[in-house]
Amino acid sequence: MHRGIEIHDGIYWIGVNDYETNLFEGLWPLPKGVSYNAYMIIDEKVALVDTVKGSYFSQYLDRVKALLPEGKSIDYLVINHMEPDHSGAIKVLVEAYPRMKIVGNKKTIQFLEGFYGITKNTVTIEDGEVLSLGTHKLKFYLTPMVHWPETMMTYDLETGTLFSGDAFGGFGALNGGIFDNQVDLEYYEDEILRYFSNIVGRYSAMVQRAFKKLEGIDIKTIAATHGPIWRKNPEKIISLYDQWSKQEAEEGVVLVYGSMYGNTQRMMEAVAKGLCDEGVQKIRLHNIAKSHISFVIRDIWKFKGLIMGSCTYNTELFPPMKQLISAIENRMMKNRYVGVFGSYSWSGGALKELEEFASNNKGWNFIEPVIEAQHSPKEEELKKCKLLGTNMAKAIRKSL
Ligand code: FEO
């Protein structure tokens, strides 16, 4: 077991990897695992920045102990974020270091009592306040709703390290390397976007507000609570986050369909042909009954076009498609193009709901035609599906 990894003089990564949890927040699959990044700063005073999920406390404490110089104790625990994947170890940590002061903003301190009943040894900081550890001086930036109301970031004035909380982080455990120039970023990028789009994306406007607050700061390293540490090229993740939180989507189309016996699927295949014949290469197709919604949301966040097709189930939309619509609305996605089609056997239902979604959603451009097939799609309907693909391709190309 290593002792943690030095990021800069006196600053160490003391995080842990979680390869065991199936569903993050009880919702999101973790095929590549996830890291809970935490940090330790050793100076005249010793500070910890964030902790880890409670079940990983023992590994975390081992790392703290291995680095702690003889005769010193932990002076401060800075809490950037109270979600239990980072705060879960606090209660036991307080027992190990009872004189340690816990540093957070007003909301953090309220959450600390609410989650763990801790009220002693707390230090409430204000936005912009600086805490000196000796050489390292920590400046606090309150960045509410990136991702919870108490969220803040901590910036070390000495090294230019920004401890950014969830912002700039993503799924994917750190398999050996922890720095952006040690790992295969392609392996992580989709998982960073899946994390952003599903967990932080709803708060995109607040991410943009945080960007404004951080303007003019010389950020040399980004140390988030999940995923790689951006020490070589922090501009890359800053630029991706900026693009994603402005909802600037790329050329490409996501096709999502719900089909019980293949009829709606045939319609989707005709749409895909229309897209392909019009030169669209980036097509991401999801059978909504099989793809986990988090991967679908990720792709919708990434690409400009979305075409949804659904069979009717008990006079309504196919249930997993209903869930997808609710997830899209919850994340307040905009700046996209959308087309819809549906099928039914004896009474309609699915298409009506899809049309309502597509035409009522502010910031979406509706692409015609709308197609509805009874029982199985006929040649004429399949032609219209192909036309929907063609029209979508043309609209997207025009928009770029
Ligand atoms: Fe990684 Fe919002 O917690």
* Pairwise CA distance, residues 392 & 239, whole Å: 27
> Is the same domain home to 49 and 111?
yes
* Residue with CA nearest ligand 1 atom 3: 83
At which of 213, 245, 277 does a domain end? Answer: 245
CA of 6 to the centre of ligand 1 (A): 23
CA of 147 to the centre of ligand 1 (A): 7
> Is the same domain home to 174 and 286?
no
**Could you count the other beta carbons within 10 Å of the beta carbon of residue 218?**
8
CATH number at residue 377: 3.40.50.360
CA of 22 to the centre of ligand 1 (A): 16
Total number of domains constituting the chain: 2
> Is the same domain home to 255 and 212?
no
At which of 186, 213, 245 does a domain end? Answer: 245
At which of 245, 270, 294 does a domain end? Answer: 245
> Is the same domain home to 238 and 260?
no
> Is the same domain home to 273 and 216?
no
CA of 38 to the centre of ligand 1 (A): 12
CATH number at residue 118: 3.60.15.10
Give the angle 50-53-58 at the CA atoms, nearest 5°. 95
> Is the same domain home to 42 and 190?
yes
pLDDT computed for residue 363 by the predictor: 84
Tokens of 48: 């910890």
234-264: b or e for each residue (b if 16 or more CB lie within 10 Å)? beebbebbeebbebebebbbbbbbbbeeebb
CA of 243 to the centre of ligand 1 (A): 21
Q: Which residues line ligand 1 (CB under 6 A)?
A: 81, 83, 85-86, 147, 166, 225-226
> Is the same domain home to 209 and 344?
no
Closest atom of ligand 1 to 165 CA is: 1
The whole-number mean pLDDT for each consecutive block of 10 residues of the chain, a chain of 400 residues, reads 88 98 98 98 98 97 97 98 98 97 98 98 98 98 96 98 97 97 97 98 96 96 98 98 96 98 98 98 98 98 98 96 96 95 94 93 92 98 98 95
323 is in which domain, residue-wise?
Answer: 251-399
> Is the same domain home to 154 and 285?
no
* Pairwise CA distance, residues 259 & 247, whole Å: 29
Residue 111: CB partners within 8 Å, gap ≥ 6? 82, 87, 148, 150
pLDDT computed for residue 67 by the predictor: 97
Q: How many helices (H) and strands (E) does the chain have?
A: 12, 23
Looking up tokens 């110089």, which residue turns up?
Answer: 69
Closest atom of ligand 1 to 147 CA is: 2
pLDDT computed for residue 1 by the predictor: 53
> Is the same domain home to 129 and 221?
yes
3-state secondary structure of 174: coil
